[in-house]
Every structure is written in C-alpha cells, then in structure tokens.
Amino acid sequence: METKTNPNDELLSCFDEQGNLTEPKPRSLVCRDGTRQWHAVANIWLVNKQGQILCTRRALHLSGNPGKWQSYLGGHVKAGSSFLKTALAELEEEVGLAVRESGLVLIDKGKYEPWMHFYENYAYLFNSDISQLIFNDGEIIGAKWYNMDEYNKELLSHPENWCNSCTLSNQLKIKQWLEKIC
C-alpha cells in the first residue's frame, strides 16, 4: 500500500529576500503566519486560440480559498525541484495534462511580498474541450472558459468569489504571446 505524505510536511524550496536558495523547510512552517518564509510557487494559465482563459473553482474542503474561482493552476516548488518542473507536475496532477517544457511560455516572474512568494507564471495553449481535462487530485470542482473582458467584469463585480487572479499586465502579455503563435 502506498503511503501518502501530509502536504503540510513536504519540504519546500526556500530563499532569502534576495532570492538566494537557502535550506529547505517544511510547508507547515513556511506557509504559516508568524513563521512565514520566502518560498517559491509556479502558476500556469491555460488559454485557447480565442484568447479565453480557463478558470477553475477550488474544492470546498481546501484550507485556502475554498469554493473560490481562480484563473490559474499551480503549486509550491518542492525542495530539489524547479519552477518549470513544478509547473509541469502541477498541470499533470491537477488537470491530467502531460506537456513538454517547450509548451510552456514564461509570462511573468518576480516576488510577492505579502505571501513571501518568489513566483514564475506560465501560459499553456490548450485548444481542447474542458471535458478532456481530468481533475485528478480533488482540488477542482468546476471549470469554465472566460474571455478576458468577461473575466475582468466577473472579478470586479464579485471579488469575494475569486482568488489567484490574472492581472491586466499579464493579460496583455498573454494576448501578445497568442498573437505571435496563432
């Protein structure tokens, strides 16, 4: 029988404030208020040729933002991994997509001080129907394509229903990337 580790105990890549790798620490320590430390996350927007972004609804049992809609998939970078490897693993884990590194395009990277995240945000061109996705890990209970205008309107009208957004700046970068490849 396979033993599952508690995700709160997994070791995460940690950094100093300048982005230099430090000793890995348990997720339960790194992500907790009061002991929060700089760590890494990788996020992926699924977009189609029409410029729509796939938004997913988080499961009600999740501790962070249960039941809220989000514009990207993603997760924490585990010790010994990289942003890109994490992005690829999260796509497969969360929606059943096994993609090549070359399929992801880096849209944005930086650091987000409130959560002490160093982040890399990627986009992936996905032109299939939502029914082709396999929501394996129980984190997602709904999915819907939004064009950027609909998404922005929904986000402004009902911010309490949303988390993990796509900024206007990143939307522009995604549109520019799509114009180059489509």
Residue 4 placed within a domain: no
| DSSP H or E run through 162 | strand 162-163
Residue 3 lies in a domain: no
The answer to whether residue 2 sits within a structural domain is no
Residue 115 lies in a domain: yes
CATH of the domain at 17: 3.90.79.10
Other CB atoms within 10 A of residue 159 CB: 11
Question: How many domains would you assign to the chain?
Answer: 1
What is the enclosing helix (H) or strand (E) of 171? helix 168-181
- Are 44 and 90 in contact, with CB atoms under 8 Å apart? yes
pLDDT for the residue 7: 54
Q: From the CB of residue 8, how many other CB atoms can be counted at a distance below 10 Å? A: 13
Task: Supply the range of the domain harboring residue 171.
Answer: 10-181
Rounded to 5 degrees, what are φ and ψ at 15?
A: -140, 160
Supply the pTM of this predicted model.
Answer: 0.91
**How confident is residue 136, by pLDDT bands cut at 50, 70 and 90?**
confident
Q: What is the pLDDT of residues 31-58, one digit of tens each?
A: 888 889 999 999 999 999 999 999 999 9
Q: Where are the beta strands (DSSP E) in 18-153?
A: 21-26, 39-47, 52-58, 69-70, 73-76, 104-112, 117-125, 140-147
Looking at the domain assignment, is residue 103 inside a domain? yes
Residue 98 belongs to a domain: yes
For 95-130, write each residue's pLDDT tens digit. 999 999 999 999 999 999 989 999 999 999 999 999
- Confidence tier at 6 by pLDDT (50, 70, 90): low
- In-domain check, residue 79: yes
